């Protein structure tokens, strides 16, 4: 197996940081539960908890599989990155109570696309440093029996 590049550690750090951000969101929701219920937040407090728990667990799982260098780690991280970007735009455009004109979304849209593109390219560039699938032959010719 090749020596891990610094990008791998940076991606793991960013995934853990993102998971911690969503965990802090969960604690903030529970600390403000009565206020959120009193002001009848749309689409609801349970939705906020579900979204933050799902994304926190997803990014934490992505970081763990990157640490173990599983061959499917870049795909899992890419799936949760795309899910987060899509969910952000659904929240911003459809579930938002104060609709903004499209001209107010252009900067955020361009920024989102740039960040997602950089992250997806980073995941893709780490594919050669992942462990091969079980039973696959290494480039050197040895058969990998254990994972």
61 part of a folded domain: yes
What per-residue confidence (pLDDT) applies to 147?
45
What per-residue confidence (pLDDT) applies to 98?
72
**Residue 113 belongs to what domain range?**
6-129
Asked if 49 and 56 touch (Cβ cutoff 8 Å), the reply is: no
115 part of a folded domain: yes
Q: How many other C-beta atoms can be found within 10 angstroms of the C-beta atom of residue 19?
A: 21
122 part of a folded domain: yes
Q: Is the pLDDT of residue 145 over 80?
A: no
What per-residue confidence (pLDDT) applies to 137?
62
Q: Is the pLDDT of residue 119 over 90?
A: yes
What per-residue confidence (pLDDT) applies to 94?
85
104, 101, 117, 28: CA torsion to nearest 10: 80
Q: Is the pLDDT of residue 93 over 90?
A: no
135 part of a folded domain: no
121 part of a folded domain: yes
Q: How many other C-beta atoms can be found within 10 angstroms of the C-beta atom of residue 73?
A: 27
State pLDDT tens for residues 13-68: 999 999 999 999 999 999 998 888 888 877 888 999 999 999 999 999 999 999 99
Q: Is the pLDDT of residue 116 over 90?
A: yes
pLDDT above 90 as % of the chain: 65
What per-residue confidence (pLDDT) applies to 142?
52
Count of domains forming the chain: 1
11 sits in which H/E element: helix 6-31
119 part of a folded domain: yes
100 part of a folded domain: yes
What per-residue confidence (pLDDT) applies to 68?
94
Q: What's the mean pLDDT in 112-135?
A: 93
At 140, is the pLDDT very low, low, confident or very high (cuts 50, 70, 90)?
A: low
For residue 147 the two structure tokens come to 């994972």
State pLDDT tens for residues 70-81: 999 999 999 999
35 part of a folded domain: yes
Query: Would you mind telling me the total number of residues written for the chain in this entry?
Result: 147
């Amino acid at each position: 197996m090749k020596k891990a590049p610094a990008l791998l550690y940076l991606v793991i750090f960013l995934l853990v940081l993102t998971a911690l951000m969503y965990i802090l969101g969960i604690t903030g929701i529970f600390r403000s539960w009565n206020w959120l219920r009193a002001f009848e937040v749309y689409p609801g407090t349970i939705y906020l908890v579900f979204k933050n728990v799902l994304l926190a667990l997803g990014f934490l799982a992505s970081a763990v599989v990157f640490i173990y260098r599983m061959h499917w780690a870049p795909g899992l991280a890419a799936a949760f990155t795309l899910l987060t970007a899509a969910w952000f735009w659904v929240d911003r455009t459809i579930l938002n109570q104060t609709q903004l004109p499209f001209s107010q979304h252009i900067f955020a849209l361009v920024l989102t696309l740039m960040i997602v593109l950089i992250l997806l390219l980073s995941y893709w560039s780490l594919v050669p440093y992942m462990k091969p699938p079980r039973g696959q032959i290494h480039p050197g010719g040895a058969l990998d029996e254990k994972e």
